[in-house]
Chains A and B, each alone.
Chain A
Amino acid sequence: MILLFDFAILIFVLICAVAAITVKDLLSSVIILGAYSFLLCLLWAEMGAVDVAFTEASVGAGIGTILLIVAVSKTTRRSKD
């Protein structure tokens, strides 16, 4: 049961990771990266590493997303490649 939960989250993490690097809109990419971070945080918490999950939630999903959004707002929103 808990292994099934692990695999379900892992599949979502993989989907988010692939989507974040293929999406052309950089703002969407940042938001997907935030979702990736949050799902990874769920995975850490479920595996028992609560301290790592805490860091992932506050740094990855909190500050990292804000800083990347500010960086996108200062540059272009569309990816060139």
Chain B
Amino acid sequence: MIRAYDDIIVKTIARILTPFIQIFALYVIMHGHHSPGGGFQGGVILGASLILLFITHGLKETKKRITEKGIAVLSSLGVLIYSGIGLLCIILLGNYLDYGKLSKLLHIVPAEARSLGILGIEIGVGITVMAVMVSIFLNISTGGTLLEDEEDNTR
């Protein structure tokens, strides 16, 4: 169990730094298809920003904002976005992840639809990677027991 680190400098710096790390992660995700970076790297950075909060502010205080149920929902939501876009392309009479077919639905030229389709995939990958990274961290740091179980025991 990770407790809150009792130092105002560390806590304040972490709190101020977190939004900037998250903005950078969103930049990496949004520019994934025409510069280095992408869904995986951006998701890892986004997960690292949340883990920074967990380390500095303690497990008990941070889980009021970021619940384990929410993380499980997010990790499934990313896969749903990925496979949803892929299956949408099959419904529009194309191959799996054939983004060009999305142009009929969005009323834009196929090249633009491909760019937007890849962006959607990157967002899905980023959400899943972020949630899974935080989930791995929580599972290691709590030793596999759920946070809700630990509250009942009041150790």
Contacts and interface: CB of A to CB of B under 8 A. Distances in A.
Interface of A: 50-51, 53-55, 58-59, 62-63, 66-67, 70-71, 73-74
Interface of B: 2, 28, 36-38, 40-41, 44-45, 47-48, 51, 55, 133, 136-137, 140-141, 143
Interface of chain B, main secondary structure: helix
B137 A66 contact: yes
B37 A51 contact: yes
B141 A63 contact: no
Contacts of A54: 28, 36-37, 41
B41 A58 contact: yes
Nearest to B32: A51
B36 A51 contact: yes
A63 B44 contact: yes
Contacts of B40: 55
Contacts of A67: 136-137, 140
Most buried by B among A51, A54, A73: A54
Contacts of B2: 70, 73
Question: What are the 5 A-B residue pairs with the smallest beta carbon separation, nearest first?
Answer: A50-B36, A58-B44, A51-B36, A70-B140, A62-B48
27 contacts: A50-B36, A51-B36, A51-B37, A51-B38, A53-B36, A54-B41, A55-B40, A58-B48, A59-B44, A62-B44, A62-B45, A63-B44, A63-B48, A63-B51, A66-B48, A66-B55, A66-B137, A67-B136, A67-B137, A67-B140, A70-B2, A70-B140, A70-B141, A71-B140, A73-B141, A74-B141, A74-B143
